[in-house]
Amino acid sequence: MLTLRYITENVEDVVKRLEKKGFEAKDIVKEVVDLDALRKQTQMQADEAAAEMNVISKEIGLLFQQGKGAEANAAKEKTHNLKEKLKVLAERQNELEQKLTELLCQIPNTPHDTVPEGKSAEDNKVESQGGHMPELPATALPHWDLAKKYDLIDFELGVKISGAGFPVYKGKGARLQRALVNFFLDEAQKAGYVEVQPPYVVNAASGYGTGQLPDKEGQMYHIGLDDLYLIPTAEVPVTNIYRDVILDEKDLPVKNTAYSACFRREAGSYGKDVRGLNRLHQFDKVEIVRIDKPEHSYESLQEMVNYVRTLVECLELPWRILRLCGGDMSFTSALTFDFEVFSAAQKRWLEVSSVSNFEAYQANRLKCRYRTADKKIQLCHTLNGSALALPRIVAALLENNQTEKGIRIPQVLVPYTGFDLIQ
């Protein structure tokens, strides 16, 4: 969340910036400012009462020594009243701080200056694109038909076992999944990312730390009996490794990568765009997470974007990078780049990665900080990106590489699959 200090010192700028995300912040920011003023006033009253009580407490002993018992007892009564006042003020202070935290959690991250104006995905800006557009015959099949033809993925079996959005990968389809995961992890390691294997469930504190909770869109699966949540992305457990941690400046940037299954309810998703692998409730993804100093975070973001681009280029897929507009950004992001690959049989672009800088928004929730060389404690900046999400990558690979002889496997994956053609 945004820091209280940042909001109170930049009221007009915060309100203006959040307008770009389509968030009406004027009233809630005013409430935050007013509550903060009341909190400070309450704290001042508590400090004054505590100081007065300390002075009186020192006088009581002297009054007894001087034989002024009546005055001493009157002073003791006054300290008793001050203690009660302090108790009331402490309770009030606690209530104000809880209310402030609740309000701060409702305010999105402010977008970076370079975020384009816009209300929806149609307003996103194409930054760059590349790769060769495949030319497929009119008889080319979409990936759900190819999966059935070559017995790679069984969507109906997934429905039987779990429900829609939980496919079963079989044979060479399962082998292709594993090949992609291993390839992505190996490439991340080469790029300096340290691999971790995180849990697939997190507690509420972890979901809160990275901004998934409170769950405004109802996308997380909740295990009610244990009050745990299935992760929507490895970003959540990996970033939470550094919750309540003070890092040394010399250890930054932190670079981690993780493979995980991801679970999303995808409430409200329907229609032709969710068919096959286009939108699932469970899918595999390799994530990269970086924690850095504020002055270096946008350089890190660009490095991450460049890295993800190398992955889609290695897979020989046509790609484009979008700079998301304010209206299409996540609640927690300050700047996001989306990667899309072209699905030749569906004749549409498919999102396969989002790479984002959250600046200090997550770090403030996580209390993820670092100690500078001169011993000052500052909030870190957190960043993450998909490198890559598998389902739509698989969809594009199957569709774009279909030939009369079968489906060609990109050369970079052959050492991992053990075959160069699906027949």
Q: At what angle do helices 390-400 and 171-190 cross, to 10 degrees?
A: 120
Closest CA to 369 of 359, 358, 379: 379
**Residue 194, pLDDT score:** 98
CA-based torsion, 108, 110, 112, 113: positive or negative: positive
* pTM value surpassing 0.85: yes
**Residue 269, pLDDT score:** 57
- Residue 18's CB is within 10 A of a number of other CB atoms, namely 22
**Residue 271, pLDDT score:** 56
Q: How far, in Å, CA of 29 to CA of 106, rounded?
A: 10
Say which residues have a Cβ less than 8 Å from residue 175's Cβ, sequence separation at least 6: 417, 418, 419
Mean pLDDT by 10 residues, the chain (423 residues): 97 97 97 97 94 83 69 77 92 96 96 97 98 92 98 98 97 98 98 98 97 90 96 98 98 98 80 84 98 98 98 98 98 98 96 98 98 96 98 98 96 98 97
Q: How far, in Å, CA of 356 to CA of 290, rounded?
A: 10
What's the angle, vertex CA 214, arms to CA 246 and CA 331, rounded to 5?
A: 80
Q: What is the 3-state secondary structure (H, E, C) of the chain?
A: CCCHHHHHHCHHHHHHHHHCCCCCCHHHHHHHHHHHHHHHHHHHHHHHHHHHHHHHHHHHHHHHHCCCHHHHHHHHHHHHHHHHHHHHHHHHHHHHHHHHHHHHHCCCCCCCCCCCCCCCHHHCEEEEEECCCCCCCCCCCCHHHHHHHCCCEEHHHHHHHCCCCCCEECHHHHHHHHHHHHHHHHHHHHCCCEECCCCCEECHHHHHHHCCCCCCCCCCCEECCCCEEECCCCHHHHHHHHCCCEEEHHHCCEEEEEEEEEECCCCCCCCHHHCCCCCCCEEEEEEEEEEECHHHHHHHHHHHHHHHHHHHHHCCCCEEEEECCHHHCCCCCCEEEEEEEEECCCCEEEEEEEEEECCCHHHHHHCCEEECCCCCEEECEEEEEEEEEHHHHHHHHHHHCECCCCEECCHHHHHHHCCCEEC
Please give the structure tokens belonging to residue 352: 């396969």
**Residue 99, pLDDT score:** 97
Please give the structure tokens belonging to residue 250: 């010399």
**Residue 8, pLDDT score:** 97
Cα distances (angstroms) measured from residue 360 to each of 243, 278, 423: 13, 32, 50
Place of tokens 């009610």: 224
* HSE, side-chain direction, 13 A CA sphere, residue 306: 7
Contact in structure between 1 and 364 (CB atoms under 8 Å): yes
**Residue 151, pLDDT score:** 98
Greatest CA separation for the chain:
109
Please give the structure tokens belonging to residue 223: 């295990």
**Residue 65, pLDDT score:** 65
Cα distances (angstroms) measured from residue 362 to each of 235, 310, 334, 367: 11, 27, 11, 8
Q: Which domains are present in the chain?
A: 4-105 (1.10.287.40), 121-422 (3.30.930.10)
**Residue 272, pLDDT score:** 55
Q: How far, in Å, CA of 390 to CA of 173, rounded?
A: 12
Contact in structure between 149 and 141 (CB atoms under 8 Å): yes
